[in-house]
Structure 1
Amino acid sequence: RIPAWFKGDEVKVQVECPGEGWVQDEDVLDTWFSSALWPFSTLGWPNEEHPDFKRYYPTDVLVTGYDIIFFWVSRMMFQGYEFTHKDPFKTVLLHGLIRDKEGRKMSKSLGNGVDPMDVIDTYGADALRYFVVSNSAPGMDTRYEIEKVEYSWNFINKLWNISRFVFMNIDDYNVEIDEEKLTIFDQWILTRLSETIETVDNFYDRYEFNEASQTMTSFIWDEFASWYLEISKVSLQNESLRKNTQAVLLYVLKDIMKLLHPFIPFVTEKLFLEISDEPSIMISEWPKKKYKFHDSKQLFKTFEDVVTKIRNLRNEYQVALSKPLDIVLDIDNNDVLNFVKKYEIYFMKFLNAKTFKINAYIENAILITTSFINLHILKSDLIDPKAELEALLKQKNTLEKEIIRSKNMLENEKFLQKAPKEKVLEERTKYDQYLKQYEEIVKRLEKHV
């Protein structure tokens, strides 16, 4: 109730009753009235000389849902102007609502609410936090789907496994990078780290946390884990490269932990303290973009293209990664040629090459082109001519039967008249596909003649 007391023409404003005969105002103030005083009432106001008021008012950022702009934000604004003659905050960041997987607002009546403590018990607080920030664009609603929480948990588990790999391969946690001894792969990952820091910083400054998280996830999972960690397994076996590779692994991992800490505080704190003498990640220096090696990205892209296309070829012909291949590379560009020669051991390892030749001749080969390299892979490594012929004849026989079956159905008047239109259309589509597949099989069989 409003703390106003009346007795005749007299009025008093106070919490306790002034005495006998005084009657309290019967109206009440809604909760938003007192909430509107929050920006300054918690800082020693009305004493505007209070250290907290002078230090923290106006505040920097108010984070709130768009559904209470009128109830809360606007009232904080006009009460801030009224009592302090200042804006109560510099920036208002609006976030959306978390809805159920069908897009409905969570409510007691629908019984579709989710207790965050239950989610934390199962997946941990970090997974829930990362789900929220990685799936929430400013001002946009988010659908709660347990699969997305599980994806966040899987990502954190990936981060844990990455860290364990680094921990097991580090001899000295104080090792520092020697720029004179960096491989092209070291230069590439350090350059990409600097670019990632710059991009993430920009997203943080604009409060686009979902974009920041996606940028970090892509770098950590698709580049650092999928490529550099695998490459480092080769470098770590070379005594002359081992120390610097350890330094790069450690440097990148520390910066990753710092970038992720606002979103994943508990796991990053634990992992960071295992590789750092600092008392806490929270007071460590924020990452800075430091490295930029101009040629490293293009040369690594060449390596990535070659490895990816060979792997795709293996997949197309169902050839196991464990089977060695005979590979010849045609290279015209001198920079690329020198790169391939210098890092031949990496190419051989990732391609699993039985023989690896540059600018040599090879007969009966399959050609694959990349931007700077033409790849020739010995056909017999990929294809068993006898097995391929048997498989093609089997497919031809199956298709001939299906073509006859489908043609008979489409020439059957009863089927055309009584079957649903969708069924007839589906059968015509199948028939056309069978003919195309049959034509392709015949062409491939002609090559065996």
Structure 2
Amino acid sequence: MPKEIPTRIDPKEFEADIYAEWIKDNRFHANENSGKPAYSIVIPPPNVTGSLHMGHALNNTLQDILIRYHRLAGFEALWMPGTDHAGIATQNVVEKQLAAEGTDRHALGRDAFIERVWKWRTESGGTIINQLKRLGCSCDWERERFTMDEGLSAAVRKVFVTLYKEGLIYRSDYIVNWCPRCHTALSDLEVEHEDTEGAFYQILYPVKDSDIKLTVATTRPETMLGDTAVAVHPEDERYRHLIGKTVILPLMNREIPVIGDEYVDMEMGTGCLKVTPAHDPNDFEIGRRHDLPAVKVMDESGKINANGGQFAGLDRFVARKQVIDELDRLGLFVKKDAHMHSVGHCQRCTTIVEPTISKQWFVKIKPLAEKAIEGVETGDIKIYPESWKNTYYEWMYNIRDWCISRQIWWGHRIPAWYCAGCGEIIVETEDPDTCPKCGSASLTQDPDVLDTWFSSALWPFSTMGWPEKTKTLEKFYPTSCLVTGFDILFFWVARMIMDGYKFMDEKPFKEVYLHALVRDQHGQKMSKSKGNVIDPLVMIDKFGADSFRFTLAAFAAQGRDIKMSEERIDGYRNFVNKIWNASRFIMMNFEDGAPLPPADRLKIEDKWILMNLRKTAEQTAEAIKKYDFNEGALSIYSFFWHKFCDWYIEFIKPRIYNEETKADAMAVAAYVLEKSLIILHPFMPFVTEYIYKMLTGRQSVMAETYPEPDFTWQTEMEETDAVIELVSLIRNVRGEYNVSMSKQLKAWVKTDSAKTKELFTHAKDRVINLARLESMDFTDAEPADSVANIAGSFTVYVPLQGLIDVEAEIKKLEKEQKAVEKDLNVYGGKLKNEKYLANAAPEIIEKDKKKFEEVSTLAAKIEENLRRLKSQC
């Protein structure tokens, strides 16, 4: 034990040093040759451009809790780290640098640009990894991977070639999300939808050789330049007779057919739908069903091309206004109605995305999805919370082919070559020199790169060395659990499942835990525009990593968003201080090396705290294993603060100040502290390590084993719980009536339980000491001039005559009674209001019911105390 124990602790003084020591001692490395059972997690690879935000902080804190717990529980635990090359985002970062230098990637050329990106990655791409280390993440950093490193690139190539040769990858014209600013196709995940103020424009389409004009409504009138049909529902009586006829496409004077398709909603708008297969995903599908031509009217920058006639060269939004003006001049514009609708924006540059037809590479998903659906249906893979299973099924059963090509330079270049001699497409794992069909050496590689999700979908096995058969794969695949946000269930989780079954013939993970969002204290989503973003690094600087991590865990209830505030983090900093103060008290009074005393020397309070330690260790472990992180945090918090600090240390103080009894009391206290630090360690790694080393003199709490005590003193635990309840009720009387602790009280206990009477008789001296009583006796009747507190099997009466101003207390209670009656009327009225009950959210109604029960109980208690006090007047 150190001679000087600081009176306070500052996380800044020890967190960095502790983490450096863990790295030095290789504490995080998983041994594939170990005989221990395996437990493994692969980190959702953050973008190499990224910086730690609240989502990362929550996600990685929960993973670290799982990993640290399983290490302590005797598993060989691997947490595989790494980053994603983030194609579009990283290219944008470097392109901005080039623009600031007065140049661009085209001036550099592809090879020089890629070299420049690698240089940026080497110099600046490790930011988020260093930030994860500040959070305390115990990843196996020796194994850190990158989705563009040599091994993962080989895995990507093998997968592409295999799927291509099996006919599951193909190249075709298809509708894609296109960013006119980034000049590339985007995956669904790279498109963020925002409610945007727009309009419905009603336009007249004249039916050929007729006076009839069909009215169509659209939010994008500029796309009408590429219309190739007007669709109506085949059973719509208004238009059924027109199916097979043609209309004259306004402005273009092109004849297009009227077709019948069940996709059209008869109740929506006018019931007539303009069909633009080249610029709308639903229209594209209608076009395929009816063999319609696809007329593309925009270029890659979102400007009208030559197919747009008189509007060629105009930006799409300028064209929109001019199209409407021209229709109005021709008498074919009906009206414009304001309309809020969801509009897709590029995640990287916020440009409005343009659905457009383009020649792209695709994966046929349905053949891969079958096994992935079966894996979840049969329970081979478990999803928590289970409510997400239905969302998973809905997406998987309606899955569309995946566009995997991107028109950028940074990423895995598509391994396809085109022969200038015969037009052959060559796809191989090795770069070809000549065409295998005609022998020509005039080969050109496809300029596109693969969607970033293509490589990250291989993450669970590519990071472990696949396609080689490695010991790491043999030991740690399939992984035990995947922890991720629900928002990438489809785009990443589902694709990993598909590729795992396809290429490993085995699931990639046994369980998936989908955590919720971290919001601000009012439940609002954090955003820079709202100014409500909480920076994890600022919180770590201000409160320490342990306080921040524990706050995240304490509120991480399954399926419920976390409301985060600085006040909550500060509250758990108080817990860190409580841990330190209790530890300091014990270390200053504990004799080094004293073992836990034998059972025959243990007092009843010792057995009580040891039984509660066992219960807490079990509850916390079970909660972590079930992903009930909040329950695990609450279990150890409640035990340490309330049972250990508030009661046990209070119990043993008389023994500490007696040299004959001090050693055993402090040995038990030190034992409980040590085991508590181990239980707390997954949640609060730094402070537990700091105190553990000071308390024990041993190297690291990480070398410990998770406590599994087998104490069986149930009777002693129940007896002490009853004593605590009795003392608490007496203390409550003091608090309610402002009776100083210096004034000794008398207490009377009334009970019909022989067991309770025997228990309190046995514990009488302890109750008198802890409650600061003059005496405690039993009674069969209600003593005069007393107030009562009622428990389950007994009632305690405390006479207050001569100790309080009865009339003043009556006035005080009557004032409280009026306030409570007001609350009763408010909440009671709500719960009787049928309209309110029909419209209010269930959680609000439940909250009101709980409040009504609380104030009802309080009202009854006030009424009873008033009755007793008035009887003394």
So what's the TM-score if we normalise by structure 2? 0.42
Match of 1:241 among 634, 645, 661: 661
Higher RCO structure (Cα 8 Å, ≥6 apart): 2
CA pair 291-81 structure 1, distance change in 2 beyond 3 A: same
Higher alpha-carbon deviation: 39-48 or 97-106:
97-106
Partner Cα distance (1:174, 1:207) in 2: 37
Which residue of structure 2 aligns with residue 222 of structure 1?
642
**Alignment correspondent of 1:423:** none
For residues 441 and 360 of structure 1, the distance between their equivalents in structure 2, rounded to whole angstroms, comes to: 22
Does residue 731 of structure 2 align to residue 284 of structure 1?
no
1:356 maps to which of 772, 775, 782: 775
State the Cα distance separating 1:395 from its structure 2 match. Answer: 11
C-alpha displacement at 1:113, in angstroms?
A: 2.8
Deviation at 1:134, TM superposition (A): 1.0
Q: Is the 8 A contact 2:785 2:868 kept in 1?
A: no
1:346-380: CA deviation from partner (whole Å, max 9, x where unpaired): 32322222x32546999865264666766564543
Q: Distance in 2 between matches of 1:373 and 1:395?
A: 24
Question: 725, 748, 751: which is aligned to 1:305?
Answer: 725
Deviation at 1:390, TM superposition (A): 7.6
- Among 172, 180, 187, which residue is 2:600 paired with? 180
More divergent stretch after superposition (355-364 vs 248-257): 355-364
Alignment of 1:329-368 (within 5 A): 340=760, 343-353=763-773, 355-356=774-775, 358=777, 366=786, 368=788
1:401 — aligned with what? none
State the SS of the aligned residue for 1:356: strand
User: Which residue number in structure 2 is paired with residue 34 of structure 1?
Assistant: 455
For 2:807 and 2:561, how far apart are their aligned partners in 1? 56
Q: Alpha-carbon deviations, 1:12-64, whole Å to 9, x = none?
A: 5579896984323133321111111111112221112x222222222111111
Q: What amino acid is aligned across from residue 2 of structure 1 in structure 2?
A: I
Which position in structure 1 is the counterpart of 2:419? Answer: 7
Q: Deviations over 1:280-320 (max 9, x none)?
A: 11111110132121211332133123212221222232211
In structure 2, C-alpha distance between the alignment counterparts of 1:178 and 1:300, rounded to whole Å: 20
Q: Within the alignment, does 1:212 sit opposite 2:627 as a pair?
A: no
Q: Percent identity?
A: 35
Could you report, residue by residue, the CA deviation over 1:151-186 in whole angstroms, capped at 9, with x for unpaired residues? 221111111111112112212333322210211111
Query: In the aligned structure 1, how far is the partner of 2:811 from the partner of 2:451?
Result: 81
Match of 1:119 among 513, 528, 539: 539
Spell out the pairing of 1:278-427 with structure 2 (5 A cutoff): 278-327=698-747, 340=760, 343-353=763-773, 355-356=774-775, 358=777, 366=786, 368=788, 377-383=798-804, 387-388=805-806
* 1:259-278 → structure 2 map (5 Å cutoff): 259-278=679-698
Once the two structures are TM-superposed, the CA of residue 125 in structure 1 deviates from its matched residue by: 0.9
Rg larger in structure: 2
Cα pair distance change 1:208/1:382, threshold 3 Å: same
Residue 341 of structure 1, CA deviation: 5.8
State the one-letter code of the partner of 1:97: L
Match for residue 620 of structure 2 among 190, 200, 215:
200
Q: In structure 1, what is the Cα distance between the partners aligned to 2:557 and 2:489? A: 18
Cα distance in 2 for partners of 1:115, 1:261 equals 24
Say which SS state the counterpart of residue 482 (structure 2) adopts.
strand
* 3-state SS, counterpart of residue 252 of structure 1: helix
Cα 1:175–1:381, aligned 2, differ >3 Å: closer, same or farther? farther
Which ranges in structure 2 are unaligned for 5 or more consecutive residues?
A: 1-412, 435-440, 815-861
Aligned to 1:429: none
Alignment partners' CA distance in 1, 2:647 and 2:812: 40
RMSD: 3.4
Equivalent of 2:503 in 73, 80, 83: 83
Distance 2:559 2:796 in 1: 49
Aligned 8 A contact 1:64 1:95 in 2? yes
What residue in structure 2 maps to residue 152 of structure 1?
572
Say yes or no: does 1:102 pair with 2:514.
no
Give SS of 2:696's match.
coil
Query: For each residue in 1:315-339, what CA deviation from the matched residue of structure 2 results, as whole angstroms up to 9, or x when unmatched?
Result: 2322111222244667887766665
Partner of 2:444: 23
Question: CA, structure 1 residues 81+240, in 2 after alignment: closer, same or farther (shift >3 Å)?
Answer: same
Task: Report if aligned partners of 1:302, 1:371 keep a CA contact under 8 Å in 2.
Answer: no
Label 1:374 to 1:64 Cα distance change in 2 as closer, same or farther (>3 A).
closer
97-106 or 154-163, larger mean C-alpha shift: 97-106
Moved more, 196-205 or 355-364: 355-364
Q: Deviations over 1:399-449 (max 9, x none)?
A: xxxxxxxxxxxxxxxxxxxxxxxxxxxxxxxxxxxxxx9xx999967854x
User: Is the contact made by 1:106 and 1:112 (CA closer than 8 Å) also made in structure 2?
Assistant: yes
Asked whether the 8 Å contact 1:365–1:376 carries over to 2, the reply is no
Q: Structure 2 vs 1, CA of residues 168 and 32 (structure 1 numbering), >3 Å: closer, same or farther?
A: same
Stretch of structure 1 that moved more, 36-45 or 315-324? 315-324
Aligned equivalents of 2:489, 2:691: Cα separation in 1: 40
Matched to 2:489, the amino acid is I
1:67 corresponds to: 487
CA contact (8 A) 1:99 1:142 kept: yes
Q: CA deviation at 1:140?
A: 3.0
| Distance in 2 (alpha carbons) for counterparts of 1:187 and 1:180 | 10
Cα 1:16–1:323 shift into 2, 3 Å: farther
User: Deviations for 1:49-82, whole angstroms, at most 9, x for unmatched residues?
Assistant: x222222222111111110011111111111222
- Give yes or no for contact 2:461–2:508 (8 Å, CA) kept in 1: yes
Per-residue CA shift, 1:224-269, capped at 9, x if unaligned? 1111111111222234432221121011111111111111000001
Give distance in 2, aligned partners of 1:390 and 1:6. Answer: 96
Following the alignment from structure 1 to structure 2, what is the Cα–Cα distance between the partners of residues 136 and 312? Answer: 32
For 2:243, the equivalent position in structure 1 comes to: none
**Counterpart in 1 of 2:146?**
none
Contact 1:6-1:22 at 8 Å conserved across structures: yes
Q: 1:95 to 1:363 in 2, by over 3 A?
A: closer
State the SS of the aligned residue for 1:64: strand
Secondary structure, in 3 states, of the residue corresponding to 2:506? coil
Which is strand-richer, 1 or 2? 2
The separation in 1 between residues aligned to 2:472 and 2:520, in whole angstroms, is 40
Aligned to 2:552: 132
Whole-Å Cα distance in 1 between the matches of residues 526 and 569 of structure 2? Answer: 17
Retained in 2: the 8 A contact 1:325–1:381?
no
Q: Which has the higher helix share?
A: 1
TM-score, length basis structure 1: 0.79
Does the aligned pair in 1 maintain the 2:806–2:869 contact within 8 Å? no
Secondary structure of residue in 2 paired with 1:380:
coil
Contact preservation (8 Å) 1:136, 1:142: yes
Q: Aligned AA for 2:771?
A: L
